[in-house]
Amino acid sequence: MCDTVVATAEATADGVTVFGKNSDREPNEAQHLLYVPAADHPPDSHVQCTYITIPQAAHTHAILLSKPFWMWGAEMGANEHGVAIGNEAVFAKVPTQKKGALLGMDLLRLALERAATAGEAVMVITELLAAYGQGGNCGLQHKSFYHNSFLMADPSSAWVLETAGPHWAARQVHGVYTISNGLTLGNEWDLASPELVAYAVQKGWRHGREDFHFARCYSDFLYTTFSDCRRRRQRSADLLSAQWGGITPGVVIAALRDYPSRIQVYRAERDALEAQLVSGALDRAGHPAGERAAFAADGFAQAGEAEARWLEQVSGTSMRSRPNWLYTRSWNRAGRQARMPAE
């Protein structure tokens, strides 16, 4: 499942916002790392998103995305102003729209292209949501329809934005905040769609503003429960809060991969390489673009060599226990579809 986390200045070791996300897309759906430079666009130009075309902005910022290869949008990314956004699938009582509109991933990319702060990103997404709606198939091999929540941050601030169809609420984040495939906002927010409470009252979910709670009113019970989002969210929040005032990129990375496996075979070497690359990137933050690009290319090369070595080590390590046959069958089918050699 997906998890997105943020720690703002008051909770971090160096007083700078730290943001992170992991993703649970389909096994054979490649993630494409894409850089798009800043650009100016002529009047009346348009942009083709995954399913629909909308008017283009006069200027779009430079962006770096990690995206499913087949869609226009992305599940995570950052722009030249230091705005970072991650999205989560969330499940609500409001029916999902099957007809293609803007995917949550499209909204994320559009916000990165058009916003210079996290607060501006909230406004970009909510204005586009009102104008075009969200909807369409989000899956590659298996159709999937859902609503979206977003965690967005810039170097000095962060916001959480959660949606259910055209309805939404947003709140500025101070300290630690995490989201995991479920609505989290309750009866306090800084911004909200005009009919947020009225729609819930109309549906009989609550009597009025005095007993309104966004997550309790709007969440779909079945999918929200089986996604195990509340337990995962609590775990990531606890891990980060325990290091309040000392949170670093390494702490966030560790929280996002808090799972046991054969990873013990290469954990120490992986952690050392990550620490080296993160430290080197931070040291070069103000250096010329060419030098930073060369460092990034070298980092990718080192990571590729390390992954090949670790794969060989893991392949020679026996598992402590075998997974059940349904789990094995599912992964064997995915392996055949990807034309991977059998073990």
- Catalytically active residues, by annotation: 2
**Interatomic CA distance for residues 9 and 23, integer angstroms:** 25
**Interatomic CA distance for residues 19 and 246, integer angstroms:** 14
**Interatomic CA distance for residues 25 and 30, integer angstroms:** 9
Cα 17 from chain centre: 16
Whole-Å CA distances, 222 to 24, 168, 180, 232: 19, 21, 15, 16
First to last CA, the chain: 26
Radius of gyration, CA atoms only, the chain: 21
Three-state DSSP class for 93?
coil
Burial 27-52 (b: 16+ CB within 10 A, else e): eeeeeeeeebeeeeeeeeeebebbbb
